[in-house]
Amino acid sequence: MARIFITGSAGGLGLNAARALMQQGHDVVLHARNSFRLADAGLLRERAAGAVVGNLADFDETVRVAEQAGRYGPFDAVIHNAGVYSGSEVLAVNTVAPYVLTALLARPRRLVYLSSGMHRSGTPDLQGIDWTDAARRSGAYSDSKLYVTALAAAVASRWPDVESNAVDPGWVPTRMGGRGAPDDLELGHVTQVWLATHSGGDRESGGYWFHQQRREPHPAVKDPGFQAELLEALERHTGIALR
């Protein structure tokens, strides 16, 4: 049995992953942006090992999420699932928050970061990046997913004791994916659950996965120079180092 923390787990893929993990007998700590959204987790909230709240677009609240979650830890796995598709908060929620939580929480055995096939059209250009206001940055979602995928790979290369992987869940019909999304919602959380609960075998750390198959990510993801540049930019912005 594993102890697993999932961000953004009051709805969508995070909630589905939480439900599947609890059905398998794991202890799950939920996260929602506030107590009203946490209530949407319904019965799952009562069965959870714990729950924390905080807006991941806000730096101070993200630090408090790490503090709250830390009280339920240490975790065997953390799934960095929370994400937004558009608006000024895209980089803060999709990239900065996973970085801050990764740096502040005690190292789990396994880390899973939600990426997207759209990361492939991201640009590895961090020059003058404004992490707090992505509204005017075209392709900000793709950029945010490229960066979080590179973060997963950077963590894998720096922390050999941790399995760190990124997952494309497919284009699935959640609130973000929209009703017309073509991929299977039932498969949307399966790879995250698998990566969060299994070790060894032919799976290596630092992978980019789609439906339990390893896929080739954007070349910048594996570029040690870009990984270092990304970590430096995030450390400069947050004042928090990844040790």
Ligand X SMILES: NC(=O)c1ccc[n+]([C@@H]2O[C@H](COP(=O)([O-])OP(=O)(O)OC[C@H]3O[C@@H](n4cnc5c(N)ncnc54)[C@H](OP(=O)(O)O)[C@@H]3O)[C@@H](O)[C@H]2O)c1
Residues engaged in binding ligand X (CB under 6 A):
8, 10-14, 33, 37, 55-57, 81-84, 89, 93, 114, 116, 169, 171-172, 174-177, 181
Nearer to ligand X, 52 or 220 (CB): 52
For 145-148, the CB contacts below 8 A with 24+ separation are: 145/94, 145/115, 145/116, 145/118, 145/119, 146/119, 146/120, 146/122, 146/218, 146/220, 146/221, 147/91, 147/94, 147/95, 147/122, 147/230, 148/80, 148/94, 148/95, 148/98, 148/113, 148/114, 148/115, 148/119
Q: How far is the CB of 26 from ligand X (least distance, A)?
A: 19
Bridge-partner residues for 114, per DSSP? 167
- 11 token code pair: 């709805």
Q: Which C-beta is closer to ligand X: that of 33 or that of 110? A: 33
CB 98 to ligand X: min, Å:
9
Instruction: Return d(Cα 130, Cα 39) in angstroms, integer.
Output: 33
* Distance separating alpha carbons of residues 149 and 113, to the nearest angstrom: 7
Catalytic-residue membership of 222 = no
Catalytically annotated residue among 72, 99, 113, 145:
145
Question: In angstroms, what is the minimal distance from the CB of 215 to ligand X?
Answer: 13
In the bound state with ligand X, the residue whose beta carbon lies nearer, of 123 and 199, is: 123
Active-site position among 99, 113, 141, 147:
141
Least separation in angstroms between CB 70 and ligand X: 17
Closer residue to ligand X, CB minimum distance, 142 or 205: 142
Q: Is 141 a catalytic residue?
A: yes
Residues designated as active site: 141, 145
